[in-house]
Chains A and B, each alone.
With several copies, the nearest count.
Chain A
Amino acid sequence: MSDRYSRQTLFPRIGREGQDKIKSKHVLIVGAGALGSGNAEVLARAGIGRLTIIDRDYVEESNLQRQQLYTEEDVAEKLPKAAAAKMRLEKINSEVEIEALIGDATPEVMAGLIGDVDLMIDSTDNFETRMAINDISQKYRIPWIYGACVASFGMSFTIVPGVTPCLNCLLKAVPLQGLTCDTGGIIGPAVQMVIAHQTAEALKILVEDFDAVRPSLVSFDLWRNDYTSMKMSRAKDPGCLSCGQNPEYPYLNEANRMKTAVLCGRDTVQIRPPHASTVDLQEMSGNLSALGYEVKGNPYLLSAEMSENRFVIFRDGRALIHGTKDVAQAKSLYQRLFG
C-alpha cells in the first residue's frame, strides 16, 4: 500500500481492509454540477476504484461560483461537464477508472449502466431523475444517497433497499416547483455541507459498515445556524409502489415522465410535465427577472429571453424552449427552473 492513503487507513473504521474495499468498488454519480463535482472529487481522492459520471450540460460561467472541478478555461471551451470533470479527476488520482457520459440520465440509460455499480450518489437538480434513481435502487437492490441544496439550506438521506424507507415513501409524488439554485440562489458552503454528508455515507457503504449508516434525514441551514435530524423509521410505507410489497417502479414507466417533442421546422422543443399542474406565473416571472431574463407575460403564459435562451411557459406547466433541437439541453433548462 502506498503512502497516498495513509491518513485514511489510520482512521480505524476504514483501516487497510476498508481501503482495499474502497479500491474494489464502483460508484455511479448522477449529475456533475455542484454536488456531482464535489462528490466525485472526494471519492477520487479517497481512492475509489471506479467512477461513472453522467451529465447533460456543459460548463457555464455561472457554475464557477460553486462547482469545484471547473475552471475559467472549461467555460471558454464550453466543455461538457462530464468530460471536464474526468480530465481534472485524472490529474488528481490517475489510479481511478473514470467513465464520463455526456447525456441525459434517463431511466433506460441508468439501468444500462447499473451492472456492477455498488452505490449511486444523487447529484442531480430535479425530482424526476431522483425518483427514477429511487426505483432503479429498489429494483436492482443498490443503495443511493439523496442530496440537495438551495440558498443556505440543504438536506441528505441515505436509502438502503430492504432497510430504510425510500424517497417515494417520503414524497409520494414528484413535488412540483421545489426551489432550485436558479430560483432561490445557492452559496458554496451549503454545497460543501451536503457533499460532506453524502461522501461520509458513501464511505460507510463502500467499507460495508452498514451499522454506521445515518438512519435519519438531515437538513440544515448554515446561515440560520440550524441543523435537524428527522428519524425515519416510521416513514416506511408498506404500500409504497417503489419499495412496498408489490412494487411497480412507477418512475421507470413512460407515463410518469416529462414528455418532450422537437417541433419540426421551428427549432423548438416542447416540454410537457407528466401531470398537469398550475404554475404560479407571477412568482416565476419575478424569479426569471432576478436571473437577468427579460420577461413578458399575460394571465395564460409568460415568455422569457436572455442571450441565446428563449422560452414560453404556460400555466399548466407546458413549455416551449426556442432556438434548440436538443432535447437534453431543453430539459436541463426546464428542470433548473422547476426542480
Chain B
Amino acid sequence: MNKILFFAHLRDEAGEESVMLEASGKTVAELKAFVAENYGIHKLDTAMAAINEEFAPNEEMIKEGDVIAFIPPVSGG
C-alpha cells in the first residue's frame, strides 16, 4: 500500500489530508491521472510530486510502501 498526501488546495479538493492506495508499479504520471479522476482533483498534472520527501519526475516508478506527496506550485506574492 502507499500513502498519498495532499497539500494546499489539493487537500480541499480531495476532502482529505491523505489517502491509502495501491500504487506500486504505477509511474508518477499514471498515479496523477488515477487520483485526479477518482478523487475529483483538478489540475493535478501541474502539481509537483515527492516520493519519500524527494522530488520525483513524472516517469518515476512507485514502489511498495513509498509515501507520495502532491504539492501544487502556487503563484501569489
Residues of A within 8 A of B (CB): 12, 31, 33-36, 122-127, 147-151, 153-155, 165, 170-171, 173, 175-181, 184, 186, 194, 217, 219, 221, 224, 226, 228-235, 237, 280, 283, 339
Closest residue of chain A to B42 (Cβ to Cβ) is A280
Tell whether, in the assembled complex, residue A221 and residue B77 are in contact, meaning their CB atoms are under 8 Å apart.
no
Identify which of A173, A230, A280 contacts B69 (C-beta below 8 A): A230
Tell whether, in the assembled complex, residue A149 and residue B56 are in contact, meaning their CB atoms are under 8 Å apart.
no
Identify which of B17, B54, B69, B71 contacts A155 (C-beta below 8 A): B71
- List residues of chain B with CB within 8 A of the CB of A283: 42
Residues of B within 8 A of A (CB): 7-9, 11-12, 17, 42-43, 46, 48, 50, 53-57, 69, 71-77
Secondary structure type dominating chain B contacts = loop
Closest residue of chain B to A146 (Cβ to Cβ) is B73
In whole angstroms, what is the CA distance A186 to B41 when docked? 22
Identify which of B42, B43, B57 contacts A237 (C-beta below 8 A): B57
In whole angstroms, what is the CA distance A153 to B47 when docked? 14
Closest residue of chain A to B45 (Cβ to Cβ) is A175
Asked whether A339 and B76 contact (CB < 8 A) given A176-B46, A219-B71, A230-B71, the answer is yes
- A-B pairs, 4 with minimum CB distance: A339-B75, A175-B46, A178-B75, A181-B76
> A34-B77, A126-B75 known; 5 other A-B pairs, CB under 8 Å?
A33-B77, A122-B77, A148-B74, A150-B9, A339-B74
- List residues of chain A with CB within 8 A of the CB of B8: 150-151, 153, 179, 219, 221
29 residue pairs from A and B, CB less than 8 Å apart: A36-B77, A123-B77, A125-B76, A125-B77, A148-B77, A149-B74, A151-B8, A151-B9, A153-B9, A170-B55, A171-B46, A171-B73, A178-B75, A180-B75, A181-B76, A181-B77, A217-B55, A219-B7, A230-B53, A230-B54, A231-B50, A231-B54, A231-B55, A233-B54, A234-B54, A234-B56, A234-B57, A339-B75, A339-B76
